[in-house]
Amino acid sequence: MDKMLSVSNLGKAFKDKQVISNISFDVHKGEIMAILGPNGAGKSTTIRNIMGIMYPDEGSIHFQSTNGKEIPRHRIGYLPEERGLYKNVKVMDILLYLADLKDYPLDKARTRALEYLKKFDLEGKDKVSVEELSKGMGQKVQFIASIIHEPELLILDEPFSGLDPVSQELFKDEIRNLAKNGTAILLSSHQMNLVEEMADRLFMIHRGKKVIYGTMDDVKLEYANFKCTIHGNNDPKQLELLPDVQRIEVNEGSTILYLDKDVNPNQWLKQLPEDLQILELKINRVSLHEIFIDIASDKNLLQEKKAGEVYA
Ligand SMILES: Nc1ncnc2c1ncn2[C@@H]1O[C@H](COP(=O)(O)OP(=O)(O)OP(=O)(O)O)[C@@H](O)[C@H]1O
């Protein structure tokens, strides 16, 4: 697959504080690559360095188009984390102004703007000034601004934050469409369910360092171990001592047993003691959300893996 963006060994410090180090990943044509991590992990700093809003202390950033040449800046789209458009300007005027800055033909931009406003339930808002829009509407207009010029590479910093579920679906569909049509997409998010549904690959960052990098399938296979939820009145100590149990979580009337990697659930179930009270039992894989929480809270789901050693 064509690499459109390569980030190599990026490092950045603010005063004495190292905020990101050794960050390396690629984004390919037609893929959705997610960068995720807890608050303060370094996602926006990484993106701002890529966008040239600040300069890295170490490492390099390389944009490459499918024709082998560097992607010119005007072929990149960017939705910054800080939302905000000029307030007393009409929606169409701002979209055309931003398209013009990207050297995009104005007649095409006008047609695309009207199409997208319709698609995002903002039909007729082209003549309204930005200050009259709700927060979500403003976010939609800013999203349109980031794609109006048909970018080859699109970078979206927290595109879903503050959106209602219907608008989230609209954004999701459009982002998928863009990827299907060949746009390389890098998005940051901490909404795991959305990332799990959409991303082809992901890069998880924690305290400025890589903890996971790979395809969604690889990540699930590697980290999404099985967990077994048992409803019943049982002694947590007995459950904790069962084979292949990494750790347990005791809730009211039920216990979740997090199992080791590579456990075969059929065989594991066969060796449960007969005196265990089972009112209900469920086996499923941990979600990306749980993997994320474990990493963010330094629990031991990844204890066998040292951060940064997982994928090249
Ligand atoms: N301009 C700056 N000066 C000093 N420290 C900064 C600056 N920008 C970011 N930081 C620090 O860098 C760290 C990473 O911040 P960053 O905004 O990249 O995190 P993030 O992963 O995007 O977080 P969030 O999900 O909360 O937006 C934080 O500790 C933050 O305080």
> 26-43 pLDDT, tens per residue?
999 999 999 998 888 999
Query: What secondary structure letter does DSSP report for 132?
Result: G
Query: Does the Cβ of 43 fall within 6 Å of ligand 1?
Result: yes
In the block, residue with structure tokens 């890295």: 56
Give the CATH number of domain 225-285. Answer: 3.30.70.980
Residue type, 102: K
Q: What is the pLDDT of residue 298?
A: 67
Question: From the first residue on, what is the mean pLDDT of each consecutive set of 10 residues in the chain (312 residues)?
Answer: 90 93 95 92 93 93 81 88 80 94 94 95 90 89 95 94 89 95 93 87 92 87 87 92 92 90 91 93 87 71 43 32
Ligand 1 mutation pick, 10, 20, 43, 79, max ligand atoms within 8 A of CB: 43
Q: What is the pLDDT of residue 82?
A: 77
Nearest CA to ligand 1 atom 9: 45
- Residue spans of alpha helices (H) in the chain: 43-50, 91-101, 106-119, 135-147, 165-180, 192-198, 216-223, 236-240, 265-270, 288-296
- d(CA 153, CA 176) in angstroms, rounded, equals 13
Nearest CA to ligand 1 atom 13: 40
Query: Does the Cβ of 53 fall within 6 Å of ligand 1?
Result: no
- Which of 250, 251, 275, 248 has the alpha carbon at shortest distance from 259? 248
Give the CATH number of domain 3-220. Answer: 3.40.50.300
Q: What is the pLDDT of residue 1?
A: 66
CB 116 within 8 A of CB 105: no
ipTM of the complex: 0.96
pTM, whole model, 2 decimals? 0.82
Q: Please tell me if the domain spanning 3-220 has the same topology as the one spanning 225-285.
A: no
Q: What is the pLDDT of residue 300?
A: 47
Query: Does the Cβ of 14 fall within 6 Å of ligand 1?
Result: yes
Find all residues with CB under 8 Å of 283, minimum gap 6, and list them: 226, 227, 228, 229, 265, 269
Q: Domain map of the chain by residue range? A: 3-220, 225-285
Nearest CA to ligand 1 atom 18: 42
- d(CA 229, CA 233) in angstroms, rounded, equals 12
